[in-house]
A and B are shown apart, each in its own frame.
Chain A
Amino acid sequence: MDFKKILRKLDEFKIITMPTIFVVFLLFAAVLVFYFTSAYPAIEKYGIDLFTTNVWKATEDATKEVYGLAAPIWGSIYTSVIAVILAIPIAIGYAIYVNDYAPEKLKYPLIIISDIMAGLPTVIYGIWGAFILVPFLRDNIMMFLYENFSYIPFFSTPPITGYGYLSAGVLLAIMVIPFASAIIREAYAMVPKVHKEGLYALGTTRYEATKVIVSYIKPAILSGFILAFGRALGETVAVSLVIGNSFNISYSLFSPGYTISSLIANQFGNAELYAYMVPTMYAGGLVLFVVGLIVNLIGLYYLRRWRSNVSH
């Protein structure tokens, strides 16, 4: 490889863009390194207990400090799972209606509504969730479930505050439905027209045709929900207003809990005061980061594979 060849390869375009690419990579690496190094003291001190126990003993005497992130980790995952379970039928139904059934006039506004909902500032969801959704859920839905079905473990805690896993899950579901349905809608639109025409030619009803198409885009639907799960995991502001902020691990939908991001929103401001709380916070952030990374990579991988399958 002689020098000229390298020089020819480095044209203007590369000279302009390469530094930016470098910055993007550097930024990503910096975030990773930063979270690892910042979290390390806590991981070193508490080992695996940091992630598997539920303790939060903060004192200014560093030898007596003990932290365990199990409750926030559990809360983050549990609320996101609730959100996705609630979102699945609604997002699919929404996508089908917009693509197949909505009258022309309604179609476009419906898409816009979904886009607005996907972009609406999260604090707006937060204020609505805290002041309106939570009291509504508590008085109408949780009370009913508790009074009639409290023998089911999910409903066993009296919904006293209303703040808790279910409220956070419902709010998150409302927030991720437009996101998931946009992915499904897009996949739906990618299905070659021939398939649909063929189905109708066979004399199927629209319901039957839809059933076939939905099974055809199943991988895209799955990846849509995986990505939605990833998005729900990282949501902070709206969740911190409705989760209850209590170090508690429970299956019961009505109990208050914590999520990693709401823990950071609540306590990062005073964490510096304690020797090991900042590293613990960053360790929580690291968990969020890694779980989110894995989830998103899987989601993106499936989506991409499915897309290339369809277009070939």
Chain B
Amino acid sequence: MFHIDYKKIRMIKENIFLIVVGALTLLATLPLFHIVFSIVSKGLSTVMESGLPFITETFSNGGIGPAIVGTLILTITATAIGVPLAFLAGAYAYEFPNSFIGKSTKILLQIMLEFPTILVGTFIAGIVVFPMGSYSLLAGALALAMILMPYVAVYTEEAMAEIPKIYKEGGYALGCTRAQVIFKVITKMAKKGILTGLLIGIAKVSGETAPLLYTAGGLYESYPNSLFEPVGSLPLLIYSLVQSPSPEDHKMAWGAALVMVIIFLGIFIPIRYSLKKDIKI
């Protein structure tokens, strides 16, 4: 008798646990669905109303073209600045995991990964914007590059570390130098992981607002054409529109948010699907 009851209790516990865990999962994922749903339902009408001009026109003509272009240019410039640095730093951390410099490089990179992004912005504002006397694309891109760099570096290091040692040994056995082994053999084999890190980093910085607050300046009435002049960006525009009281601005904000989510998901989902590995952000 007792034995059967005990088993039953265990099964009930099991089922309750399953329900609880399932419910928590639902609770964790629900916000994403609601966010996407509200952005689509509120943003779509704005975008449909103005049609194509919404993504090509300037702000006073009811479009967010300069902001989109600004975001793309900022992201590309930041990538161009940050990635070479990141790749080499990651390769170093991979090659010397036990030396003092190698170890501390890795720790530094991981700390920088968790750096509050607003602090990067105020740092760049202090050393670039104020001395230069102008908000600029360059300052914004530098701030973004500082955020991008540790991402790519850490991913590079991790991707390289996953390549079996035997390939490295093989390379040395063929008489390759260290540079050849790492840049030709290991890099090629870890290509996929490195690219993933790169793209995730890009997706991340393209949505950053805080580091641009006091560096990029904002430009929504004309298209950016100089590295040393202010530039606008989508997240920055959304942030300022959200703080406005007028319903028109809110409509623009939702429309811009929709464009932004589409860009983000457009980059993110294909990458994520193209590799069936568990990655962490």
Contacts and interface: CB of A to CB of B under 8 A. Distances in A.
Interface of A: 11-13, 16-18, 20-21, 23-25, 27-28, 30-31, 34-35, 38, 89-94, 96-98, 101-102, 108, 110-128, 130-132, 174, 177-179, 181-183, 185-186, 189, 205-208, 210, 227, 230-231, 233-237, 241, 261, 264-265, 268-269, 281-282, 285, 288-289, 292-293, 296-297, 300
B235 A20 contact: no
Q: 8 closest Cβ contacts across the A-B interface?
A: A121-B207, A234-B116, A93-B24, A118-B281, A12-B179, A236-B210, A20-B88, A17-B92
Contacts of A293: 111
Interface of B: 10-11, 13-14, 17-18, 20-25, 27-29, 31-32, 34-35, 38-39, 84-85, 88-89, 91-92, 95, 101, 104-105, 107-112, 114-119, 122-123, 125-127, 146, 149, 153, 177-179, 182-183, 200, 203-204, 206-210, 213-214, 235, 238-239, 242-243, 250, 253-254, 257, 260-261, 264-265, 268-269, 272-273, 276, 278-281
A122 B116 contact: no
Given A90-B28, A98-B25, A128-B38, A112 B117 contact: no
Quick one: which of A12, A17, A94 has the most chain B CB within 10 A?
A: A17
Contacts of B89: 17, 20-21, 24
B5 to A, nearest CB: 15
Given A128-B35, A132-B34, A119 B22 contact: no
A182 B278 CA distance: 9
A185 B28 CA distance: 14
B111 A297 contact: yes
A108 B183 CA distance: 33
B210 A237 contact: yes
A236 B203 CA distance: 18
Interface of B is mostly: helix
A277 to B, nearest CB: 13
Contact of A237 (B29, B91, B203, B239): B239
Given A261-B118, A269-B214, A11 B24 contact: no
Quick one: which of B11, B105, B111, B118 has the most chain A CB within 10 A?
A: B118
Given A110-B25, A115-B279, A236-B118, A13 B177 contact: yes
Nearest to B93: A21
A89 B264 contact: no
Contacts of B265: 116
Nearest to B27: A90
A94 B28 contact: yes
Quick one: which of B27, B31, B242 has the most chain A CB within 10 A?
A: B31
Nearest to A174: B31
A13 B17 CA distance: 54
A121 B250 contact: no
Contacts of A177: 28
Contacts of A108: 276
B204 A119 contact: yes
Quick one: which of B24, B38, B117 has the most chain A CB within 10 A?
A: B24
A312 to B, nearest CB: 16
Contact of B264 (A31, A119, A237, A264): A119
A62 to B, nearest CB: 19
A189 B277 CA distance: 12
Nearest to A297: B111
A111 B95 CA distance: 31
Given A13-B179, A93-B21, A285-B122, A23 B85 contact: yes
A40 B3 CA distance: 71
B28 A227 contact: no
